[in-house]
Amino acid sequence: MQSSLPLTIDRAAGLPLHLQLAEQFRAAVLDGRLQAGHRLPSTRDLARELEVSRSVTQAAYDQLHAEGWIEGRTGAGTFVTDVVPLQPAVRRRTQHRPDADAKLLTLRPGIPYIAPTPDPGWRRAWREVSTQSPPGGYDDAAGIPALRAALADHVARVRGIACGPENVLVTNGTVHGLRLLLTVTRQPGDRIAIEDPGYLNAVVAARDHRLEIVDVPVDEDGLQVGALTDAAAVYVTPSHQYPLGGRLPVARRNELVRWARRTGSLLIEDDYDSEFRYDVAPLPALAQLDLERVVHLGTLSKTLSPALRLGWLVASEAMVDRLATFRADAGDWPGWPMQAATLAMLRDGYLDQAVRRGRRLYADRRTHTCAVLSPYGQIVGQDAGLHITLLLPDDADDLRIAAAAREAGVVIAPLSEYRRTVPGPPGLVIGYATPSTTDLHRALTILTEILSRR
């Protein structure tokens, strides 16, 4: 069936209908059949023309809006954006073996999709900053007071942490907050427990501070609290264990906090991927159980962009004061323009909009990725986040598979990269957020060809 737009649906094709529409729309813009500023029919009218449900056309528009191809104008309708991606030059290539100049397709985890055109909410925030004069002196080392208050409201609303601005310290992101915390609170030789497999940057930070790392196994529910031994601190990703994806259940959270109270240990909660759940609402943060024992680390890296280098640390007032005092001496805190822009985005609801848009986009990609890869192993961690982990048979060599994929033009992470001393099956940690939808399909096709030859 064809509409007045250059769009056709094929119910016999393997690609979902809304992805067919989105793919054809991109092609029509790139080859000039659809021009910038073209007003699009409503989702209801387009659904009627194509004889499909409105949910199909709405999902296609959501996808295109998330990628920056279309924009809504209040009271006017939906239009093709006035800035579109440059169509890449066509290169001749052999079967899935890119030449030296070809761009690799990245399926590394933890990197969000960045639309090729800036969102109106993003532009509004920066226009507002450009009309303000910078502060006359140095900023508060803990962060702009108004931003700390807005972040306190944000984490209270979306993560259930009862706190005020005095509990919030603005950081340059999760790793920056972790390193600051380790610098101020830990001594060389202190023991820190870290999930295994787990976040490599946390391991590197601990080693840089000359801490003794205690590897703690994880299972389908996350950190195995019963395996904890004596440690001055525990680094944990309870919302979506990285990289296997378990969600620490309430009973284990309570057990972990009781253990920390008993031992005097500091719990460092990396709130990894808490924004993107596709099954149920996220559990409240670990920090809401005991802000005296838990330090909570959050970031905008997954919701907006890793390049922003802005996040937050939530802790007891005494801990925040201690960290801010150190930073005042070190001169190490985010600059005023980024903080002011973040404040505008929080105040105007742009961050919430970005999260809602991201959930719709990533939920579709997750479903497609799981459907394509499920014949090749056991998929875990698919209920949240920006990646899934494909567990492979014990005789598989995930390092070799990752190397073959890179040779074919696709970058993926072998699970063995995340393991240290705790044994476990081989696997692939596959991010589905970063590439365009078209590139995601291409990358998965290449990957399945490699897996089928394993």
DSSP secondary structure letters along 21-63: HHHHHHHHHHTTSS-TTPEEPPHHHHHHHHTS-HHHHHHHHHH
Query: Does 143 have pLDDT greater than 70?
Result: yes
pLDDT band at 101 (very low <50, low <70, confident <90, very high): very low
Over the chain, what is the mean pLDDT?
Answer: 88
CB atoms within 10 A of CB 143: 28
Residue 411 φ/ψ, nearest 5 degrees: -95, 120
Query: Does 99 have pLDDT greater than 50?
Result: no
List CB contacts of 79: < 8 A, sequence separation 6 or more: 37, 38, 39, 40, 70, 71, 72, 73
CA 267 to chain centre: 22
Assess contact for 389 and 244: CB atoms under 8 A: yes
pLDDT per residue over 360-415, tens digit each?
A: 899 999 999 999 999 999 999 999 899 999 999 999 999 999 999 999 999 999 99
One-letter-per-residue 3-state SS of 268-329: EEECCCCCCECCCCCCCCHHHCCCCCEEEEEECCCCCCHHHCCEEEECCHHHHHHHHHHHHH
pLDDT band at 14 (very low <50, low <70, confident <90, very high): low
DSSP 8-state assignment for residue 104:
P
Separation CA 71–CA 81 (nearest Å): 6
Separation CA 424–CA 417 (nearest Å): 12
Query: Does 309 have pLDDT greater than 80?
Result: yes
What average pLDDT score do residues 323-351 get? 90
Model pTM greater than 0.85? no
Cα R_g (the chain), whole angstroms: 23
- Most confident residue range from 46-55, 77-86, 272-281, 416-425: 416-425
What average pLDDT score do residues 91-98 get? 40
DSSP string, 393-434: PTT--HHHHHHHHHHTTEE-EEGGGG-SSS----EEEEE-SS
| Beta strand ranges found along 68-208 (DSSP E) | 70-73, 77-80, 105-106, 168-171, 191-196
Per-residue CA distances from 362 to 209, 253, 440 (Å): 36, 27, 12
